[in-house]
Structure 1
């Protein structure tokens, strides 16, 4: 019994430590954001739908996912984003991933269902002042409420959404 109690206590300690380090890294990586205001983002998704993030985020939070087809870390995060898109509005922006036909073929081959805006020259990503893929921003009422970069878990994303 004492062994299990020790295991449980150590596990909680590691989870707490991981959470603190994760939050600190997110804060350090987002230091370039001087405003919580969402950069104007209006574009046509590969599906043909017109997307305006300010308008879309007025009634509920929107997950904005910056990724690339060539990004190694994105291969771990994108399935989570696809799953999340069943429950929340997700707008993905594929940076420097080539022409729209190539990106659409990639999405189809992995059966990803989220809305995606192709950003072949990373103009949208630059407007957001992003330097890392993947980056996930949660916006609500036209404001950035949370932003994280790198690999994240489904639980981490859900926690960020629930804590709004």
Structure 2
């Protein structure tokens, strides 16, 4: 019985330390993230059929049928990012059931991003951020980033680095449930 107790104690300490390191790294990576998602001016985005559109954030939300006040997920990625490729199937699965907007940062022009999305079979609504300015304005200098925008377009549960499909769904569900009970 002493061996089992020792093992449980050591495992608990190790898991607690690992969780502390993870949370500390996340806090450091998201330290410059503002509380509000606030893209300014005219955005350019690709629809799943490859069509290029221009407009404001409100225009994009309206085109997607996700009016202001509806919770949605935001996934920031780049074609050159290996972790982003590893998340593609989870983001696609999430987007089949929930509103998701992706942001292709430091990824080139519309033609380059469209070619990548088609090659990988990704049916995403993708905002173009060719120079990384939009991501940087929100404090993100690394990819991938996963965030949930609540009913007021506030950034919630921002995670930098790989996020599992389960983690994406949990974050989205948590914000939806929390917003339902928050005045």
Instruction: Tell me the TM-score normalised to structure 1 length.
Output: 0.79
Pick one of 131, 151, 170 that aligns with 1:159.
170
1:86-138 CA distance string (max 9 Å, x none): 11111111111122111111101111111001211112112212111111121
Structure with a larger share of its residues in helix: 2
State the alpha-carbon separation in 2 of the partners of residues 127 and 89 from structure 1: 23
Alpha-carbon RMSD across the aligned residues, in angstroms, is 2.8
Q: Which runs of 4+ in 1 moved over 4 A?
A: 12-21, 53-57
Aligned length: 157
Residue 122 of structure 1 corresponds to 132
Between Structure 1 and Structure 2, whose CA radius of gyration is higher?
2
Matched ranges for 1:11-90 at <5 A: 21-33=21-33, 35-41=34-40, 43-47=43-47, 48-49=52-53, 50=55, 52=57, 56=66, 58-90=68-100
Where 2:70 maps in the other structure, the secondary structure is coil
State the alpha-carbon separation in 1 of the partners of residues 89 and 56 from structure 2: 22
Instruction: Tell me the TM-score normalised to structure 2 length.
Output: 0.72
**Retained in 1: the 8 A contact 2:39–2:134?**
no
Pick one of 124, 149, 162 that aligns with 2:160.
149
**Retained in 2: the 8 A contact 1:69–1:106?**
yes
Where 2:80 maps in the other structure, the secondary structure is coil
Shift of 1:61: 1.5
Q: Comparing 104-113 with 15-24, which one deviates more in the overlay? A: 15-24
Where 1:163 maps in the other structure, the secondary structure is helix
| Structure 2 unaligned blocks of 5 or more | 176-183
**Retained in 2: the 8 A contact 1:68–1:134?**
yes
Where 1:73 maps in the other structure, the secondary structure is helix
Q: Comparing 45-54 with 91-100, which one deviates more in the overlay? A: 45-54
State the alpha-carbon separation in 1 of the partners of residues 139 and 95 from structure 2: 24
